[in-house]
């Protein structure tokens, strides 16, 4: 898979490329990460990428031309990061993980010229709040996608993730067996995998009902 990031701040992505699971995926040849600075595509002699808002308003707006020219250098699904986009979900992460190439357009400052929206395939938000730019949201989504690409991590590591089948993940424990009076549930220590699986399934439903009952309702409505 190839992931492109179109941004004004390429250095944001150095840790993403050079640490942890993403780094290993790149080294294995499973993943390619391409960071494009759309300032390189401006036709202005001062490399200007933003300007005042027509009709008046606060802040500076990113211009359409340099972003358009940058997008012409990449292929695949083109995604604009914006608080106005559709909410990102685990289901969307799985969908994107099956693509050969994905491009994330990260804005900054006051926002985009509206015409930028006509250049992309979809608009995604990571939540109902506003950040200074789209760099962090693009990495959040990319990280969620990369771990689902076959061969990046073991399938068993994500098949019971939170939000798979509209359930949260079950509780998990490691050594020591007891810490400050808090004990590991006995069912996890008896080696009976059938009982362990049943307990984990029960805990997933219980936790989801307590913390995210909306997921239970969504699952009911889908049936």
pLDDT tens for each residue of the chain, 223 residues long: 999 999 999 999 999 999 999 999 999 999 999 999 999 999 888 889 999 999 988 888 999 999 999 999 999 999 999 999 999 999 999 999 999 999 999 988 778 999 999 999 999 999 999 999 999 999 999 999 999 999 998 776 555 555 567 888 899 999 999 999 999 999 999 999 999 999 999 999 999 999 999 988 877 766 5
**pTM for this prediction:** 0.86
The three-class DSSP label of residue 3 is strand
Tell which CATH architecture fits domain 2-146.
Answer: 3-Layer(aba) Sandwich (3.40)
What is the pLDDT at residue 221?
67
What contacts 200, CB < 8 A, 6 or more positions away?
Answer: 160, 170
CB of 106 closer than 8 Å to CB of 81:
yes
Q: Is 207 exposed, middle or buried (0-12, 13-18, 19+ CB in 10 A)?
A: middle
Q: Extract the tokens encoding 66.
A: 């340099």
Element of type H or E holding 34: strand 32-37
What is the pLDDT at residue 158?
58
The CATH fold assigned to 160-222 is: 1.10.1270
Which residue, 72, 56, 67, 61, is CA-closest to 113?
Answer: 61
Residues forming the active site? 83, 110, 147, 161
Which residue, 133, 134, 116, is CA-closest to 124?
Answer: 134
Which segments of the chain belong to CATH 1.10.1270.20?
160-222
Which segments of the chain belong to CATH 3.40.1280.10?
2-146
Which residue, 38, 10, 16, 7, is CA-closest to 140?
Answer: 16
């Amino acid at each position: 898979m190839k992931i492109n990031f179109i941004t004004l701040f390429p250095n944001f992505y150095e840790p993403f490329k050079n640490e942890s699971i993403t780094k290993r995926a790149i080294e294995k040849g499973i993943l390619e990460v391409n960071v494009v600075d759309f300032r390189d595509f401006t036709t202005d002699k001062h490399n200007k990428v933003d300007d005042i808002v027509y009709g008046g308003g606060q802040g500076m707006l990113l211009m359409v031309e340099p972003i358009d020219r940058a997008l012409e250098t990449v292929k695949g699904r083109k995604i604009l990061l914006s608080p106005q986009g559709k909410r990102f979900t685990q289901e969307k992460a799985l969908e994107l993980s099956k693509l050969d190439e994905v491009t994330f357009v990260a804005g900054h400052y006051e926002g985009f010229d509206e015409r930028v929206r006509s250049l992309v395939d979809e608009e995604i938000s990571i939540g109902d709040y506003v950040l200074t730019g789209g760099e962090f949201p693009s990495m959040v989504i990319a990280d969620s996608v990369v771990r689902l690409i076959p061969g990046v991590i073991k399938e068993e590591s994500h098949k019971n993730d939170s939000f798979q089948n509209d359930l949260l993940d079950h509780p998990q424990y490691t050594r020591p067996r007891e810490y400050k009076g808090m004990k590991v549930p006995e069912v996890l220590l008896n080696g009976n995998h059938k009982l362990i699986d049943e307990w984990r399934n029960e805990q997933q439903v219980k936790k989801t009902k307590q913390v995210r009952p909306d997921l239970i309702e969504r699952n009911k409505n889908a049936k």
